[in-house]
Structure 1
């Protein structure tokens, strides 16, 4: 047995080497097109195999399975699906600007439907694909052995037109990707000719004839600057949008009709996305979305409701769906066996260089054949001039070889001429044949002269290339399908105008359950919504779906919640927790919620912390575009917490109340206006272990407040009992100091007739405060007990809740 040969190598070396080889193969032999003929290896092998088998556009169609089998067996040892998928794409008119294969049968659709199996479809080369293979038998391109060395295959096709720019390419390999858009054939040919005639031409010059990509699906390109950048550097960005028109229909209604969609977009998915906007009520103005596409062309109809703003809806569709997409050029191709990012100049030059080589090789081949034939014709003419002697020589010879040898010796014919003479048919020995030979000789001499001129003159070589390109343009030119607009249109959408206006009831509980409810559902149910025993209704207000709910937490965060995006839940059911509405909301408790209709009004959000920091921020600062996570309302440091939030008009008075019973009143103007991320300024000066409990604002002197102590006492007081002073002071006492078991304030709030007030106990049910029975008392009073003396130590907090409906 053969002895095993084991190598011990570091794993990273082995992996690196193997992956390097794999990457080289993927880059060069699979995913990226050649800069010369614009084809990937599998595409080239399909076209060459069909050409070799005579499956051309002049012949009948053949089963696709037969071609796939030939390609796999002779050139491409991979799965049949990879070959068939490549073949199908070459036949799809919505992906290829000039399809290279004609297919009978189902070859897929713009909706993403799969093609029929290859046993059902029939194919043949298209007429223009034949132009890619013209002259391949004239040694115009290099051939290499196939995978099993049973035959040869071309390295590149002769390509009589610049296929890479005409049909574009897309692909992803190891470390490289390519995205080259298709172009209009005659424009690309004009650019090639300009590049040959004016080698110093700029991209701007070329763009006078090659204005930009031309997609088979049509559409509108916006952004000439992006095209120019891509042509200069190989990379650039443009916008492609579908072509849509607004039509008037009977009854004063309008509809949007889409007749072209962006390149490579799945129409069925686009239509479904549009209909989802209607179903999800993100576009309430859409009545129906219909796909009316048939054999006459693409047509998607969007019927609108009466009074709908069609322009606004169309702009929203451009912004929210694939009716408008960004296209990024990344023009990478294989050039000199390496992947290269190429601008327009390099792509054109690569093609021109290739065509020069092809035409030179073809001319050399034709010259060789012409000279050989001219030599034979000269021998035949000489033989006919001494016909009797030639016949006598042949008749006296032993065999064919002897006859050839004697002709060479006696009459000085060459070996090739002697072979032609001895194989000459008798009918050719007529008087008319010598005339034909003379004519052929003259034509051959002319052809030889022309071919030699091409090989000797670069100018004549270029003229041949240009003439052939012009012939291609004449035969295969088509109209432009894609419209190009210079500027990218900025889409501005009034989001409020897109939201269906509806009055709803919005509720927020202390533990963070939020919902909106239809007014009909609320009217039918009434009372309080479903809540946990420990929870309480913090906010209940009639709002419009175009409004925004701002919710503030004890950690200095806030939630920006457009009402139309809140979960629509029946009144008697629990709402959805805030953590299910915005991501990242956890370990926070809600302290306040406000309804905002217009952020541009001159209002402020006032926030205060337990440690006595206070700040205010303009309401407009809380209007944001991205609100999927909690946002910062105040920079809270250490273990501090926000204890109060208020919506003010800028001219209110602020009353800060502390746990130890101090109250400090000052003008709101004393609090500087800062941004949301600021920490604020010192609001009041605290005793050791004291902390701020509540902050109450009022713009009227006669405002009342209610305060509750740890011993279950409730006290009603007024703003007028506190002299207005400046901030950062301790303030004056709100409760009388007792040496034993002193009253400590656990909660305070402004007195509001629309609310009910409860004392929350550590155990047992909440105790309702009869606000009407509370009389305003002086500043030193400790108020009236509202909790049984036996439970005084079990008081937890003051609870404000919206009044229950009657």
Structure 2
């Protein structure tokens, strides 16, 4: 028994880093060159090329019956592409989908998916064949026009590139992701690109601008509007650029409603997802006036119908949908393809030049192949013609010969025929000896000589070769007339979303509570409710409520020195008896923030001031204009408040001659001009408003033009008194002020509120029962008097204010101004 030789060890003594780097670089090279990126010459990835060639090899062409898709997939996997069947079938399906590829290369019969992203039927159910245009990619492949390489099993040869009579890379586009590279090439119009190539061949030194007279830009199979000429130019120059694709829509009007008809959508947008997103916007009431969304697409084309109210602003609705759905998308050019075995980012001219150079090589190789065949045939025809003239002697020589080879040798020796000529003579049939066939041979010889001359001219003349390439390009152009589907617009239309333009102006009731609960209630629901006060938690209380327009904005201030605002139309609608939603569901807020004041505004650009005061005596003045923000998704600081302090109120001043009256809980009060408070921006502490005694703090402030009128002062137990404005001393800030009520040590009362009022003003408080009264019902008293008890002593009550609108003021700093008084706090019912 022979002794087995020991197996020699083969150990790599390399670092793990070196081994991984080597293996990954090989893998990356394979992925880049042989899987994910297209070849610049035929515009195909390897799997696509293998599918097309396998179908061509199997005679599965456009002019023959369909074959089962499963058969094609089997041929591709078994002969050329050793990967999963799903990857091959998916590539087949994509090449057949006319909404993804401008000129489908495969004609598939059966369910090949849909623009709604429905999957294609299984390969055993569908049938396919090459489309007519695919024939132009494979034409002349049998004439040694391209290089061939062994397949994975070395049993067969496969083409490394197809002859490609048209620039498929630009016409059909492609996308793919490799290791470190990605490509995204949109489809372009076939007739435009071919015309551009013809012009480039005729004018090799032409500029991009000249080419763009033919190639306008991308032309997507789903149509749409391509905006941004600058992005197209940049992409054509460098291979990278960005364009905007917008849907095409039209408006139809009926007697009762308007209809927005969407009949073309952006490239690679899934229609069903688009319809779903628009319907979500409708259901969530992001757009007022959108009544219904329907997909009415059928075999006649795409059609999405949006029903909108008759009075709705169609332009505003469309702008919102362009911004928030795939009704408008951006498309990024990234034209990377394999050129000369390397990934190259190429512009339009480079892509055309790569195709043109490929066509020159194909025509050269084809001409050489055909020239060789023609010359061989011409040589044989010459021998046959010569043989006809001495046919009697040739017959005698053949009859005397031992066998075929002896006959050939004898003919060569006697008449100096070549080996090929002698072979043709001995296998020639006797009927070819007629005069007719002699004439045909002479005619064929003339034709062959003419063709040989033309082929030699093609190979020797660049001009002749260019004319051949142009002629073949024109044939494709004539066979496939392709109207442009996508419109090109030079400028990108800016999307300006006017949310208010989409909102119907409706009147609603808006209550807001101390804990931050808010809602909007239709007037119908409010009037049908038997409850005077809206529902809230037992530990909460109502700050204000009032009638508002859905076009207005709710501005609120919190005890943490912050402010926030939200549009009334954004507030969730509820019933009057419902609790409502917390402000934190709309904007971000700090923990334990409580609402202390709220107003309605229609515009931030008003000449009014916001006066903010804290519990321990700080005050500041800020312009309303400074509160406007482009992003208001969270509360923002209007005043820096100490950790032991809190903001107690935010009041509005609309006139430079306004006065402020400030009152402490222990009953000290004085007034001074609002102009004494410096105007500063947010995130500052402000200045000292009042000198407070120990254990005292600010109760409230009142603002207005106090030349005439009274103050209504309220205690924490709902005791009240009226005082004339002139009875409260005017001092410079800060000051201690004077007492405005008699101190009753046995039953001390803390001041809670102060209001500037006139006798006709109406107020409301709530404590189990609702109390509404006019200011004139409360006695006018001097500073020595105590308080009256119009409702008895109430240990717990809610002071309910009207949710008032901040209106236009006349605040002009350091300038002469008109004597205009605008009351912002009229409580008149």
Task: Return the TM-score normalized by structure 1.
Answer: 0.88
Counterpart pick for 1:549 among 537, 550, 554: 554
Could you say which residue in structure 2 is the equivalent of 1:235?
A: 240
Determine whether 1:667 maps to 2:680. no
Q: Which residue, out of 400, 422, 434, partners 1:418?
A: 422
> What is the deviation of 1:518?
2.6
| Structure 1 match to 2:824 | none
- Matched residue, 1:401: 405
Match of 2:355 in 1: 351
Q: Does the CA-based 8 Å contact 2:703-2:756 persist in structure 1? A: no
Structure 2, unaligned stretches of length 5 or more?
A: 1-5, 804-828
**Paired position in structure 2 for 1:700:** 706
Q: How many residues align?
A: 791
1:61-76 equivalences in 2 (<5 Å)? 61-76=66-81
Residue 443 of structure 1 is matched in structure 2 by 447
Deviations 1:106-145 (A, max 9, x none): 2222222222221111111111010001111112111222
Tell me the CA shift for residue 799 of structure 1.
6.3
- Deviation, 1:745, is 6.5
Report deviation, 1:163: 0.9
1:353 and 1:57 mapped to 2: Cα distance? 28
- 1 CA distance for matches of 2:429 and 2:100? 55
User: Of residues 338, 342, 350 in structure 2, which corresponds to 1:338?
Assistant: 342
- Counterpart CA distance in 2 for 1:744 and 1:329 is 75
Once the two structures are TM-superposed, the CA of residue 725 in structure 1 deviates from its matched residue by 4.6
Query: For residue 286 of structure 1, what is the aligned residue in structure 2?
Result: 290
Would you say the 8 A contact 1:134–1:159 is kept in 2?
A: yes
The whole-number CA distance in structure 2 between the counterparts of 1:721 and 1:202 is 88
Cα shift at 1:96: 1.6
1:112 — aligned with what?
A: 117
Residue equivalent to 1:32: 37
User: Which residue pairs with 1:517 in the alignment?
Assistant: 521
Instruction: Tell me the CA shift for residue 54 of structure 1.
Output: 0.6
Listed as ranges, the matches of 1:248-397 within 5 Å are 248-249=253-254, 251=255, 253-397=257-401
Contact 1:735 1:743 in 2 (8 A): no
| Superposed CA offset, 1:573-592 (max 9, x none) | 32222222224543423222
Structure 1 range deviating more: 7-16 or 156-165: 7-16
1:645 pairs with one of 635, 644, 650: 650
**Structure 1 residue 222 corresponds to structure 2 residue 227:** yes
1:515: Cα distance to partner? 1.7
User: SS at the partner of 1:127?
Assistant: coil
2:499 equivalent among 470, 495, 498: 495
Q: Go from structure 1 to structure 2 and tell me whether the alpha carbon gap of 1:803 and 1:486 turns closer, same or farther (over 3 Å shift).
A: closer
- After TM superposition, give the deviation of residue 535 of structure 1 in Å: 1.6
CA contact (8 A) 2:762 2:772 kept: no
C-alpha deviation, 1:185, in angstroms: 1.0
Rate the CA distance shift 1:90–1:317 in 2: closer, same or farther, 3 A.
same
* Deviations, residues 197-233 of structure 1 (Å, cap 9, x unaligned): 2223222211111112222222222222222222122
> For structure 1, which segment, 606-615 or 416-425, has the greater mean C-alpha deviation from structure 2 after superposition?
606-615
Change (3 A) 1:147 1:308: same
- How far apart in 2 are the matches of 1:2 and 1:201? 66
Task: Spell out the pairing of 1:379-778 with structure 2 (5 A cutoff).
Answer: 379-523=383-527, 524-583=529-588, 585-609=590-614, 612-634=617-639, 641-651=646-656, 652-657=658-663, 663=669, 665-675=671-681, 677-679=682-684, 681-684=686-689, 694-701=700-707, 702-704=709-711, 706=713, 719-727=725-733, 729-734=734-739, 748-750=753-755
Q: Counterparts of 2:34 and 2:617 in 1: how far apart (Å)?
A: 71
List aligned pairs for 1:99-248, cutoff 5 A. Answer: 99-248=104-253
- Bigger drift between 348-357 and 365-374 goes to 365-374
Cα distance change on mapping 1:635 and 1:156 into 2, 3 Å = farther
Once residues 622 and 152 of structure 1 are traced to their aligned partners in structure 2, the CA distance between those partners, rounded to angstroms, is 74
- Look up the SS of the partner of 1:372 in the other structure: helix
Q: CA deviation at 1:670?
A: 3.8
Kept in 2, the 8 Å contact 1:708–1:798? The answer is no
Displacement after TM superposition at 1:657 (Å): 4.6
Deviations along 1:271-295, whole A, 9 cap, x unmatched? Answer: 3333334333334433433333222
In 2, the alpha carbon distance for the partners of 1:538 and 1:192 equals 74
**Partners in 2 of 1:275 and 1:495 — Cα distance?**
18
Local SS of the residue matching 1:148 = coil
Q: Is the 8 A contact 1:664 1:684 kept in 2?
A: no
For 2:24 and 2:754, the matched residues in 1 are separated by 70
SS in 1 for 2:448: helix
**Inter-CA distance 744–38: structure 2 relative to 1 (3 Å threshold):** farther
1:445 CA displacement: 2.0
**Shift in Å, 1:330:** 2.1
- For 2:676 and 2:19, how far apart are their aligned partners in 1? 72
Range with bigger deviation, 131-140 or 163-172: 163-172
For the residues of structure 1 that align with 2:202 and 2:249, how far apart are their CA atoms?
Answer: 40
Q: What do the CA deviations read for 1:617-657 (whole angstroms, capped 9, x no partner)? A: 33344444533333343455777643321233244322345
Task: Say if 1:104 and 1:724 are closer, same or farther in 2 by CA, change over 3 A.
Answer: same
After superposition, give the CA deviation of every residue in 1:605-627 in whole Å (9 maximum; x if it has no partner): 33334565544333344444533
Q: In structure 2, what is the Cα distance between the partners aligned to 1:513 and 1:212?
A: 54
Deviation at 1:446, TM superposition (A): 1.9
Is the CA contact 1:556–1:635 (under 8 Å) kept in the aligned structure 2?
Answer: yes
Alignment match, 1:762: none
Moved more, 8-17 or 352-361: 8-17
CA distance in 1: counterparts of 2:80 and 2:384, whole angstroms:
44
Question: Counterparts of 1:407 and 1:585 in 2: how far apart (Å)?
Answer: 110
- Do the aligned partners of 2:381 and 2:441 also contact (CA within 8 Å) in 1? yes
> CA contact under 8 A between 1:579 and 1:586: conserved in structure 2?
no
Deviation at 1:51, TM superposition (A): 0.7
Alignment check: 8 A CA contact 1:64 1:122 kept: yes
Judge conservation of contact 1:550–1:594 (CA < 8 Å) in 2: yes
Matched residues in 2 for 1:708 and 1:724: separation? 22
2:728–2:738 contact (8 Å) kept in structure 1: no
Distance in 1, matches of 2:509 and 2:542, equals 13
